[in-house]
Amino acid sequence: MAYAGTIVTGESGVVKIATLAVASVRSFTIDSEQATVETTAMGSDGSRSYLPSLNQFSGSMDVYYDDDDAGQVASITNIQATGSAPVAVELYPSGETTGAKLSGNIIVTGHSITSSMDGVVEASITFQGTGALTVAAAS
């Protein structure tokens, strides 16, 4: 799916969790996957055959840790609440006005904080999609 026919950079990328922009995002990754089921039968031509099956997506993001940021707090709250409902995520690889918008519902599966004496405190957040990942043009 082409959006502007140009190569874009990520410095304007945006992540929103539960409609709240996440501050200090350093990077994010989104992985989509199409499962397959094998349909090879005995006596076939020597090649395996497959049909498409279920889709899934998952991802992660790295941020500079900010415990006052509502977006980061939303992700922490989601993982700490046992049985909490999935939350909406919106990912804009090149900003909210250009390129693609990826959206869906996620369950936050991990949150880790890294602190060192000679660096900025960072956090990593991992999530599993539930339902479809929608890809559309950013508006």
Positions of E strands within 18-121:
20-21, 25-38, 50-64, 87-92, 100-114
Render pLDDT for 61-108 as a digit per residue (tens, 0 to 9): 999 999 899 888 888 777 767 677 898 999 999 999 988 999 999 998
Render pLDDT for 14-64 as a digit per residue (tens, 0 to 9): 999 988 899 999 999 999 999 999 999 998 888 999 999 999 999 999 999
Rounded to an integer, what distance in angstroms lies between the CA atom of residue 5 and that of residue 71? 31
Rounded to an integer, what distance in angstroms lies between the CA atom of residue 129 and that of residue 121? 27
Q: Which residues contact 59 (CB under 8 A, 6 or more apart)?
A: 28, 29, 30, 31, 89, 91, 106, 126, 127, 129
- Which among 108, 132, 107, 1 is positioned nearest to 55, based on CA atoms? 132
Q: Which residues contact 32 (CB under 8 A, 6 or more apart)?
A: 55, 56, 57, 133
Has domain 14-137 been given CATH number 2.30.110? yes
Q: Which DSSP helix (H) or strand (E) runs through 133?
A: strand 122-137
Domain map (residue ranges) of the chain = 14-137
CA dist list (Å): 12 to 19, 25, 29, 114: 17, 10, 15, 24
pTM reported for the whole predicted model: 0.85
> For residue 38, what are the β-bridge partners?
50
118 Rama class: left (phi>0) / alpha (psi -120 to 50) / beta: alpha
